[in-house]
Amino acid sequence: MNVDSLGPYFYLIFVIPGFVGISSYRFFFNRKTPLNGWQWSCLSVLWGVLIFGIWQYTLKDNQPLVSQTLQNPLVAMLTLSALTFMALAYIRFVIFMTEWISNLPRPILTFALNVPYCLIGFVFALISVPKKIAFDKKDLAFVINVHSLWWRDWGIAKGVRALTIGCTILLGPRVEEKDLEHELVHVEQHKRYPIIFPFLYYIDVARKGYRKSKYEEEAYRIAGNRYAAE
């Protein structure tokens, strides 16, 4: 199919989607295009020529479904107009979400980024048999008292009294004074390095050992609690 065979349908198929594209741009992006009617028409024709080239290439590949759909001028016009509108709507949606996320307060944003770890923390709270749960509004952390941390009481963590996974703090039966403050420091570290903190933590522990890890040093220094081996 070529321009000659399309005849008067050329404008119907290719130029109208051009008008749809410009109108959609103004609607979604709130931009007033500084174009008069003549310039608007020329831009629509250029848009139409671009779409026509893509259309011809598609037909040349002889894709059955696409070819049959676009052989009908009216269906082709509606299809191309709809695709133009949806493409611009999608771009606007992505920009909107990016702006919305970037305007979120940092504590809420970092909390949201660490939600997967928080959910893992809830899973471990379940297998530890929870006794009491509370939410710390100031630090955006879930504090859960559990019956036992049996699954973690081995190796370097033997005698563990509490631990933090994302924004979920698990306090075992042997918890002591200031242990909660220690775990809240780990919550803050998760916020400081959202998503990647667990990797940073275990790499540092593997290199220096648990007690000499800079993340544990910071937590013990700020909280002032007792190390289990002391």
Say whether 141 sits in a helix, a strand or coil: strand
The residue with greater pLDDT, 2 or 106, is 106
* Nearest of 191, 158, 179, 186 to residue 223 by alpha carbon: 179
Element holding 132 (H helix, E strand): strand 130-136
pLDDT in tens, 125-157: 999 999 999 999 889 999 999 999 988 877 666
Amino acid at 203: I
Mean pLDDT of the chain: 76
Q: What is the pTM of this model?
A: 0.58
Based on its alpha-carbon atoms, the radius of gyration of the chain, rounded to whole angstroms, reads 30
Are 128 and 149 in contact, with CB atoms under 8 Å apart? yes
Say whether 153 sits in a helix, a strand or coil: coil
pLDDT in tens, 106-123: 788 888 889 999 999 999
What is the per-residue pLDDT for 157?
63
pLDDT in tens, 158-203: 778 999 999 999 999 999 989 999 999 999 999 998 889 999 999 9
**How many angstroms separate the CA atoms of 197 and 210, rounded?**
15
* Nearest of 172, 165, 151, 170 to residue 228 by alpha carbon: 172
